[in-house]
């Protein structure tokens, strides 16, 4: 079978638990690489260059844009965030499945550039669970919760553009399900054109010799 890694975008509602999900996925399975974003935002306490982000000046970031060194980028609250192409492509070529944790606009841009990208959308089993999780954190004001629920309603309209729906009810089951889905995708015919071409050639060559 072909040995190239798969580019995977993981999105999901705030409160869907996708951050934890990625953490436990990478802890259990070692064939994944998490893409590290570049940003012009200043490092927060405890954040490490090359682990949490690649920290760039606005000038550096804009140079990366100009040189097409970013797969996708966006600007939030006066800061740039983007996905460096270099790291992603080198990991894919090494056979690693590379995961980008980005929201829907970015996901669609990536899919547009790399049509073989696998889009996963993480959701709680129902809207009530989503709200309870947001409330349960205990750290958000009612206004923030409402604005997150409003955002969730908007994001829900984008779910159809994704390939798979990941219902995050039990975190460990969910982690294994994500792994199973990605591994299954490695068997897709469209991801194994080299293997198929080889078998076709072998069969033709075999016949030429024999018939």
Residue 200 as a binder of its own copies (CB under 8 A): the answer is: yes
Contact 187, 2 (CB under 8 A): no
In 3-state terms, what secondary structure has residue 36? Answer: coil
Contact 32, 140 (CB under 8 A): no
Query: Considering only residues 20, 79, 93, 184, which one is a binding residue for its own copies as defined by CB under 8 A?
Result: 184
Q: Taking the complex as a whole, how short is the minimal distance between the CB of residue 1 and its own copies, in angstroms?
A: 6
* Residue number, 3 or 193, with CB nearest to its own copies: 193
Separation between Cα atoms, residue 67 and residue 115, nearest integer Å = 21
Q: Taking the complex as a whole, how short is the minimal distance between the CB of residue 197 and its own copies, in angstroms?
A: 9
Query: Considering only residues 48, 51, 66, 189, which one is a binding residue for its own copies as defined by CB under 8 A?
Result: 189
Q: Taking the complex as a whole, how short is the minimal distance between the CB of residue 44 and its own copies, in angstroms?
A: 30
* Residue number, 75 or 180, with CB nearest to its own copies: 180
Q: What phi and psi values does residue 99 have, to the nearest 5 degrees?
A: -105, 125
Pairing of strands 118-123, 7-12: parallel
Separation between Cα atoms, residue 121 and residue 119, nearest integer Å = 7
Residue 171 as a binder of its own copies (CB under 8 A): the answer is: no
Residue 77 as a binder of its own copies (CB under 8 A): the answer is: no
Separation between Cα atoms, residue 6 and residue 183, nearest integer Å = 9
Residue 61 as a binder of its own copies (CB under 8 A): the answer is: no
Q: How many CB atoms lie within 10 A of CB 125?
A: 10
Q: Which residues bind to its own copies, rule: CB under 8 A?
A: 1, 121, 123, 126-128, 130-131, 146, 149-150, 152-153, 156-157, 159-167, 177, 180-181, 183-185, 187-189, 192-193, 195-196, 198-200, 202-207, 210-211
């Amino acid at each position: 079978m072909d040995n190239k890694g798969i580019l995977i975008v993981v999105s999901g509602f705030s409160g869907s638990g996708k951050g934890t999900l990625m953490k436990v996925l990478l802890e259990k399975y070692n064939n994944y690489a998490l893409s590290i974003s570049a940003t012009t935002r200043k490092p927060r306490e405890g954040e490490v260059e090359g682990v949490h982000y690649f920290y760039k000046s606005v000038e550096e970031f804009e140079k990366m844009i100009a040189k097409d060194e970013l797969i996708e980028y966006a600007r939030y609250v006066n800061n740039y965030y983007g996905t460096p192409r270099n790291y992603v492509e080198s990991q894919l070529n090494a056979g690693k499945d590379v995961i980008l944790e980005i929201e829907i606009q970015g996901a669609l841009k990536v899919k547009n550039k790399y049509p073989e990208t696998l889009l996963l959308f993480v959701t709680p089993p129902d809207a009530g669970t989503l709200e309870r999780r947001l409330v349960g954190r205990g750290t958000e004001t009612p206004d923030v919760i409402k604005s997150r629920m409003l955002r969730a309603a908007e994001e829900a309209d984008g779910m159809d553009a994704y390939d798979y729906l990941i219902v995050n009810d039990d975190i460990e089951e969910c982690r294994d399900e994500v792994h199973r889905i990605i591994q299954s995708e490695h068997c897709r015919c469209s991801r194994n054109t080299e293997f198929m071409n080889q078998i076709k050639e072998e069969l033709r060559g075999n016949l030429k010799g024999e018939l």
